[in-house]
Amino acid sequence: MSLLSSILYPAPRLHESRLKNRFNGRWVVVTGASHGIGEALVRRLMHYGANLYLLARSEPELQELCREARAMGCRASYRCVDLRDRLALNSVCGDLAKTLPSVDFLFCNAGKSICRRLVDAADRLHDFDRTMDLNYRSMVALSLTLLPALRRTGGQLVYTSSVSSLYPPAPKWSAYHASKCASNVWCRTAACEWHSLGIGVHVAYLPLVRTPMSQVNPNYHALPAYSAHDAAGILLRLALSKHFAYKPWWAWVTAPVASFLAPFVRFFYQKAAR
């Protein structure tokens, strides 16, 4: 790892024994479990002895993860679902409420990014519907369904957001940015309302992570990034902390500065978008 990379993306510090204590035998629901950050999270959770309920569309990957988890002594099941499909999501929510013995942690991690100029999306309203349904609505639906179960255990909801949603909106990212910002605001409200119920709500504003999602964009290949394993570590650490949010250290400084300078940032983007 280069010096710049290790400064901007320091490895998360984790106490393995604490993680094992807190996750061993607990029921954990993970969305977007089949690839990228979700897959890495599931692998870490099985190592700590968690019981798993996995959601995504890719059946072979989910099957294999469940097989590995069971071989390590965990209980594990999965449901293949397109979380953008409202009827399918309703049915999953019904199943979860009826069949899960308990829920201690809900990681809402499934997500999709779209990078497209609005002028090229004139006949693509579905881009916005789908991004919103996956990145925002499925998180709300699952959280509301599992609210009674989380309340019984004093459980934790962790949402995987993006550090980009802390900065002034950039061209081409309207669908992704809007869906992440909607989720951030919803989680902030839930954190206030559910504190007295004993439920923790957390948002991880992750920076660039090397996964199938980010690798689609060649502009990101040369940039420093977290591995999916480290990003999963950040989510686990946040789930056990009292903090509402994780942000990379540099975002604490640069995001407020960028907001203060928003008119100049917009001017720059207007020039760049021509």
Ligand X SMILES: NC(=O)c1ccc[n+]([C@@H]2O[C@H](COP(=O)([O-])OP(=O)(O)OC[C@H]3O[C@@H](n4cnc5c(N)ncnc54)[C@H](OP(=O)(O)O)[C@@H]3O)[C@@H](O)[C@H]2O)c1
- Write down the least CB distance from residue 10 to ligand X, Å: 16
Q: Which helix (H) or strand (E) holds 148?
A: helix 138-153
- Write down the least CB distance from residue 86 to ligand X, Å: 12
In the residue annotation, 176 being an active-site residue is answered as yes
Q: Which is nearer to ligand X, 68 or 82 (CB)?
A: 82
Given the residues 176, 205, 226, 246, select the one marked as catalytic.
176
Enumerate binding residues for ligand X (CB under 6 A). 32-38, 56-58, 82-84, 109-113, 134, 160, 162, 206, 208-209, 211-214
End-to-end alpha carbon distance in the chain: 36
- Write down the least CB distance from residue 209 to ligand X, Å: 4
Q: Are 143 and 108 in contact (CB under 8 A)?
A: yes
- Identify residue 64 by its one-letter amino acid code: E
Q: Which is nearer to ligand X, 60 or 263 (CB)?
A: 60
**Residues making up the chain, counted from first to last:** 274
Q: Which is nearer to ligand X, 58 or 153 (CB)?
A: 58
What is d(CA 262, CA 267) in angstroms, rounded to the nearest whole number?
9
- Write down the least CB distance from residue 20 to ligand X, Å: 24
Q: Which is nearer to ligand X, 19 or 251 (CB)?
A: 251
CA distances to 12, 41, 210, 257 from 35, rounded to whole Å, are 21, 10, 11, 34
Q: Are 228 and 40 in contact (CB under 8 A)?
A: yes
- Catalytic site positions: 176
